[in-house]
Structure 1
Amino acid sequence: MRTQNFGYKKLYIDGQLVDAAKGKKINVVCPATGEVIAEVAKAGKEDAEKALLSAQKGFKYWSKLSLAERTVWMTKLRTAVLEKEHELRTAMVHEMGKNYAGAYEDIEAVINALEWYPGAMKNLREEQIPDYENTHTHKMISKPAGVAVAYLAWNFPLLNVGFKLGPALAAGCSLIIKPSTLSPLSTYMLGEILHDIDFPAGVVNILAGPSGEVATTLTTSKIPAVLTMIGSTETGKKVIADSTTSIKKLGMELGGNAPFIIFEDADFEIALNLAVVLSFWNSGQICVAANRIMVHKNIYDKFLKAFIKRTSALKLGFGIKENPEVFMGPVVSRSDRDRMFELVEDAVSKGATLEYGGKIPKGFPEKGNWIEPTVVSGITPEMNLFRQETFGPVAGIMSFETDDEALELANDTEYGLASYIFTNNHQRIERFTDELEFGEIQINGVKYAIYLPHGGIKNSGIGHDCSHLALGDYLVKKRVSIAIKY
């Protein structure tokens, strides 16, 4: 299993590629082999402060450009990203273990966001407000909010960037991007692309480093007007608590615990195929993964048997371009793999059955973070596999008997991001649409796109990524009232 070395990557601050102030570096480790495949500059407090001043200056310039002028730059960046597609996809395979096909999702998110959001911004309409006494005219106008800071999760390194970069730039905001230290490589490479095309200085800044130094400095500063993130609920709570040095707009896509509910009248093959994909694609490291698969008792045995068969046929491996048959790679870190084993052990100790997997596969590098795709049946609400966001390749399956039971089980979580139901009963669809406590309800299929809102309720977040709704995170509203002269 041969890896590639990507060398050393610098911070991107104020339009320049620079070393960290203290000269420190982060080793980027390939989860497939445990080998160091790159070094990136390790930012600290001083670098975060420089990024804030840079973004402040960048906002003054960028917000004054017309949308047409901003669009020219966004199109230039889109073209440059496409030219580096293979290098970026290869970097993501190496830094977090996804397969080459999966890495295209990240590229697609960036290029779609850079193309779609200028049009979405152009299509925003000023709201006209009636005046009931006929003494004034009133309208609401939108203006860029200011400097935005984006904290990003490691599971989709560039997809997460695209979800923030597109609306922020289209709205007229400058942006500081802090990728995870687990997978910063491709984001730092984006910084190189921005530098190569002479993107306006300070409009985008990229740095990774310890949250205690970098994130705390950024979050507590009074410079940012917007804090946006993709990450865990616990991290979201910390960001909210630290942000109160000033009033900031918050946009957060946080943890999920998606129910995947299959009724006996569902299209069995569609539900089965999507259950497998949403359990093991990206090694299950997806916020909208099928976390709790709930199957009606009349088809439970049939489904479980078929699900195990499909799972056992998945190709595990290092998903570089030369290995297109690979479906699932390793998990991102050794601690994450250990957490998978702990979830399985807890479930089995409380009465669940390990049906398949749950072991370290043979024939793979010992220093890699490999685990077999795993199936656990008979899970219950007392188990951590039911309660926690799995975020790994362990599928928990349970049966239910009535619609009331399915609803109660589905909503029995602090999270409220994605949910899935498969049924052809229209009355049931209407009821579940009304009563499921999730920001997304997908029925008899799954679709995500840059123009479709993505967001959660309860402890799963604030606001939305994607769609025109994301622009709202980066805009402030002004009311303009003009007296009518008689």
Structure 2
Amino acid sequence: MKTQNFGYKKLYIDGQLVDAVSGEKADVICPATGEVIAEVAKAGKADAEKALISAKKGFKYWSKLSLTERTAWMTKLRSAILEKEHELRTAMVHEMGKTYAGAYEDIEAVINALEWYPAAMKNMREEQIPDYENTHTHKMISKPAGVAVAYLAWNFPLLNVGFKLGPALAAGCSIIIKPSMLSPLSTYMIGEILNSINFPAGVVNIVAGSSKEVAIPMTTSKIPAVLTMIGSTATGQKVIADSVTSIKKLGMELGGNAPFIIFEDADFDTALDLAIGLKFGNSGQVCVAANRIFVHKNIYEKFMKAYVKRASKLKLGFGTKENPEVFMGPVVTRSDRDRMFNLIEDAVSKGAKLEYGGKIPEGFPKNGNWIEPTIVSNITPDMDLFRKETFGPVAAIMSFETDDEVLELANDTEFGLASYIFTNNHKRIERFTEELEFGEIQINGVKYAIYLPHGGFKNSGIGHDCSHLALDDYLVKKRISTAL
């Protein structure tokens, strides 16, 4: 497997590409080979403070621009990103093991967000409030909230950037983006693009570093008006706890434990296709992945046979542009692979059956983080595969008999992000859409788009990414009452 080196990438602060104040750098490791494929400036506390001051200045400028002016800059950025599409997609393949085809989803999210959110802001209307005594007129207007800080997960490097950058810039906020140190490369390249088009200084800042040195100083600062993140529930709880130095708006897209429920009357082929894609796509490293697959007992054996056959034919590899047939790459770190093995071991020790996979595939670089697509059956609620967000290519499958039984099992989780049901029984659909405790319920198919709300219940988060609802995180409301 041949990798390429992307050289050294700098922080982007106050409209400039800069080294870290400390001069510290960090290697970016390719999970497919274990090789160093780039070096990035590693931010520290001093850099975080510089970014905060820069964003504060940038907000004063950006918030005073008209929506038309902001849109022009966002359109310019969108065009510049499209010109670098191949380089950005290749970077994501190298930094986190995506396939080249899968990396397009990230590019699509960024360019769609930069186009869709200005239009959404333009369509936003002032809310008129009736006065029942006829003594005043009342209206609500929206204003940009202030500086936003965005903490991003590593699994969709640029999709996550798009989900935050689009609504923040359209709303009139400046933003500091902190990508994960596991996959900072493509986000740092966005900094280079911003610099190349002379994007207004301070409006967007990009810094990556440790939580202690970068995240905590920004979270505890009184400068940010908005803290938004995509990541684990544990990290979200930490950010919320650290944020109370001042009152900040919070937007959190956190962990998931999605039930994927296949009833006897489902379209079998559709359910099978999506059970493969939603479990093994992006190597299972997706917050809305099919985490627990429930199959009605009358079609359970048929499903298991077909599912194992399909999983066994998935092409593993380093999914560069030259390898379009690759469906699944490695997991992001060695510790994540070890975590997969621990989940499998825990389940099998408690009575589960390893149906397929569960091993390191042969013929791949030993320093890469490779694991076969894995299927484990006979899952029960006392197993970690039932309780925890797997975030890897291990499918947990169990059978059920009744609607009551599977509804109780599906809701038996601290998470509440996505859920999926496959049935043609309309009364059942009505019941499950009412009683499933998840922010998203997808019936007989799957669709995600920038205009569709993405948010969860319980420990899966606060607020929404995507859709007009995402703008709420970056706007504050004023009531204007005028005496007649």
TM-score, scaled relative to structure 1: 0.99
Q: Does 1:263 align with 2:253?
A: no
Q: Does 1:3 align with 2:27?
A: no
- How far the C-alpha of 1:483 sits from its partner, in A, is 0.4
CA distance in 1, matches of 2:272, 2:382: 25
In the other structure, the counterpart of 1:413 is: 413
Residue 224 of structure 2: SS of its match in structure 1?
Answer: coil
In the other structure, the counterpart of 1:427 is: 427
For residues 303-322 of structure 1, the aligned pairs below 5 Å read: 303-322=303-322
For residues 67-466 of structure 1, the aligned pairs below 5 Å read: 67-466=67-466
CA distance in 2, matches of 1:378, 1:156: 31
**Which residue identity is paired with 1:352?**
A
- How far the C-alpha of 1:181 sits from its partner, in A, is 0.2
CA distance in 2, matches of 1:396, 1:240: 31
**Which residue identity is paired with 1:67?**
L
Determine what percentage of the aligned residue pairs are the same residue.
Answer: 86
**Which residue identity is paired with 1:31?**
P
CA distance in 2, matches of 1:125, 1:66: 16
CA distance in 1, matches of 2:126, 2:264: 48
Return 5+ residue gaps in structure 1 as ranges: none
CA distance in 1, matches of 2:51, 2:164: 17
In the other structure, the counterpart of 1:42 is: 42
**Which residue identity is paired with 1:323?**
N
In the other structure, the counterpart of 2:471 is: 471
- How far the C-alpha of 1:151 sits from its partner, in A, is 0.1
- How far the C-alpha of 1:401 sits from its partner, in A, is 0.3
In the other structure, the counterpart of 2:20 is: 20
CA distance in 2, matches of 1:133, 1:450: 42
CA distance in 2, matches of 1:142, 1:420: 35
- How far the C-alpha of 1:332 sits from its partner, in A, is 0.1
**Which residue identity is paired with 1:253?**
E
- Cα shift readout 1:49-86 (whole Å, capped 9, x = no counterpart): 00000000000000000000000000000000000000
- How far the C-alpha of 1:336 sits from its partner, in A, is 0.2
Residue 211 of structure 2: SS of its match in structure 1?
Answer: coil
CA distance in 1, matches of 2:153, 2:26: 17
- How far the C-alpha of 1:405 sits from its partner, in A, is 0.3
**Which residue identity is paired with 2:403?**
D
CA distance in 2, matches of 1:59, 1:100: 35
- How far the C-alpha of 1:2 sits from its partner, in A, is 0.4
- Cα shift readout 1:129-149 (whole Å, capped 9, x = no counterpart): 000010000000000000000
Residue 395 of structure 2: SS of its match in structure 1?
Answer: strand
Residue 346 of structure 1: SS of its match in structure 2?
Answer: helix
- How far the C-alpha of 1:460 sits from its partner, in A, is 0.1
Q: Does 1:483 align with 2:483?
A: yes
CA distance in 2, matches of 1:374, 1:266: 24
CA distance in 1, matches of 2:343, 2:160: 27
- Cα shift readout 1:62-111 (whole Å, capped 9, x = no counterpart): 00000000000000000000000000000000000010000000000000
- How far the C-alpha of 1:184 sits from its partner, in A, is 0.1
**Which residue identity is paired with 1:177?**
I
CA distance in 2, matches of 1:435, 1:247: 34
RMSD value over aligned CA atoms? Answer: 0.2
Residue 212 of structure 1: SS of its match in structure 2?
Answer: helix
CA distance in 1, matches of 2:102, 2:231: 19
Residue 322 of structure 2: SS of its match in structure 1?
Answer: coil
CA distance in 2, matches of 1:122, 1:351: 57
CA distance in 2, matches of 1:346, 1:311: 22
Structure 1 segments (4+ residues) deviating >6 Å: none
CA distance in 1, matches of 2:443, 2:257: 17
**Which residue identity is paired with 2:288?**
V
CA distance in 1, matches of 2:23, 2:149: 23
Residue 310 of structure 1: SS of its match in structure 2?
Answer: helix
TM-score, scaled relative to structure 2: 1.00
In the other structure, the counterpart of 1:63 is: 63
